[in-house]
């Protein structure tokens, strides 16, 4: 029997559309193109360019179909704006690579490596389940240290009450009594930090640098992101479960189209505060990562160029002395 999978069906004008159904095949096309480009590039750079450009166009289509999911289903301003911006940026990256900006091969390789880290957790059920339940258990432990002790339950329902939008029956749902009806906060894959970890891991693994420093940078970023993500989960669980973020409930319910007043605390804690904090944390981690692994500035420089149209040299700005050529230095420091 197939386990239920979270759907994101949107109906408008009699037409039904599920962005998640369309995004999955596009995800595989993008991953194959970006990783294939890295392999082909070892023998034929021009064919690698063609494959990579096709991958960037597919990447733009991937984000395009996800826009309704983030804006209408998730009601996330940050993710919605991010996916909207990613569409032209992906096509622009492909165009610039086609025009001969070869430094974008590194960013192409990085996105492919990000997918290589993330996709196994998305597609391999035992791996995904182990990560989700481990993060849920650790979040429960931290909550107990704060004197907050909700039930941690499994299944798609509890006491006959369905758990809303739960994709898999893992033991990953915190059950609070609530004020008018039970409140459930479920740890899903997006709550494990693996997405952010994949972004930095892909970038670190893709650049040319001595492995000793790459592994050191990887250990630093993974551990920091993992810990910060647990703090984020605890913050949302306490804020939502104990209804501590009932700020301007009327306005929040109107802006996010909510029917249940209890959801105000969740949207304020997660969609506004936690997601904003996550963006700031990723910027701060990037700053310290540049200090630890200056070779990664080649990726940041190209990303900033795609966003602003201006050329940057962060290695010089930080005085890191980064060597941004494709070949790694023969010695470590």
Statement: the pTM of the whole predicted model exceeds 0.75? yes
Statement to judge: residues 237 and 90 lie in one domain: no
**High-pLDDT (> 90) share of the chain, %:** 68
- Window from 34-48, 163-177, 307-321 with minimum mean pLDDT: 307-321
Is 216 a known active-site residue?
Answer: no
Contacts of 241 (CB under 8 A, 6+ apart): 148, 150, 174, 176, 183, 185
Is 42 a known active-site residue?
Answer: no
Which one of 109, 128, 232, 271 is the catalytic residue? 232
Is 132 a domain residue?
Answer: yes
Range of the domain at 247: 116-333
Statement to judge: residues 120 and 98 lie in one domain: no
**Domain stops at, among 71, 102, 133:** 102
HSE of 114, CA atoms in CB hemisphere, 13 A: 16
Which one of 109, 128, 191, 213 is the catalytic residue? 191
Work out how many domains the chain is built from and give that number: 2
Beta bridge partners of 173: 153, 186
Is 1 a domain residue?
Answer: no
Q: Look-up: residue for tokens 């609530």? A: 178
Q: Find, among 1, 10, 54, 46, the residue nearest to 30 by Cα.
A: 54
Q: What is the mean pLDDT of residues 130-150?
A: 95
**Domain stops at, among 53, 78, 102:** 102
Instruction: Judge whether residue 39 has pLDDT over 90.
Output: yes
Q: pLDDT category, 324, cuts 50, 70, 90?
A: very low
Statement to judge: residues 140 and 226 lie in one domain: yes
Instruction: Judge whether residue 323 has pLDDT over 50.
Output: no
Q: What is the mean pLDDT of residues 33-55?
A: 94
Residue 10, pLDDT score: 56
Residue 15, pLDDT score: 59
- Window from 11-20, 26-35, 72-81, 174-183 with minimum mean pLDDT: 11-20
């Amino acid at each position: 029997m197939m386990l239920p999978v979270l759907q994101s069906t949107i109906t408008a004008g009699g037409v039904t559309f599920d962005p998640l159904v369309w995004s999955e095949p596009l995800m595989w096309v993008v991953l194959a193109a970006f990783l294939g480009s890295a392999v082909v590039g070892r023998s034929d750079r021009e064919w690698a360019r063609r494959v990579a450009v096709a991958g960037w166009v597919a990447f733009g289509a991937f984000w395009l179909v996800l826009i309704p999911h983030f804006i209408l289903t998730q009601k996330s301003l940050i993710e919605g704006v991010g996916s909207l911006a990613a569409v032209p940026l992906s096509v622009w990256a492909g165009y610039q690579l086609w025009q001969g900006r070869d430094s974008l091969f590194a960013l192409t390789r990085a996105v492919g490596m990000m997918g290589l880290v993330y996709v196994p957790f998305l597609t391999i059920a035992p791996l995904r389940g182990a990560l989700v339940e481990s993060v849920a258990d650790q979040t429960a432990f931290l909550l107990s240290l704060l004197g907050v002790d909700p039930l941690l339950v499994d299944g798609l329902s509890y006491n006959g009450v369905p758990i809303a939008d739960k994709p898999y029956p893992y033991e990953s749902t915190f059950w609070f009594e609530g004020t008018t009806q039970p409140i459930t906060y479920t740890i899903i894959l997006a709550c494990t930090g693996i997405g952010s970890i994949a972004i930095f891991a892909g970038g670190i693994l893709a650049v040319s640098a001595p492995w000793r420093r790459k592994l050191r940078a990887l250990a630093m970023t993974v551990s920091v992101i993992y810990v910060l993500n647990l703090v984020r989960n605890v913050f949302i669980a306490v804020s939502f479960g104990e209804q501590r973020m009932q700020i301007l409930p009327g306005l929040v319910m109107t802006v996010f189209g909510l029917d249940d007043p209890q959801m105000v605390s969740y949207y304020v804690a997660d969609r506004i505060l936690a997601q904003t904090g996550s963006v700031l944390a990723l910027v701060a981690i990037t700053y310290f990562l540049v200090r630890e692994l200056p070779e990664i500035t080649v990726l940041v420089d190209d990303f900033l160029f795609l966003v602003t149209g201006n050329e940057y040299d962060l290695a010089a700005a930080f005085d890191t002395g980064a060597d941004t050529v494709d070949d790694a230095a023969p010695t470590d420091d």
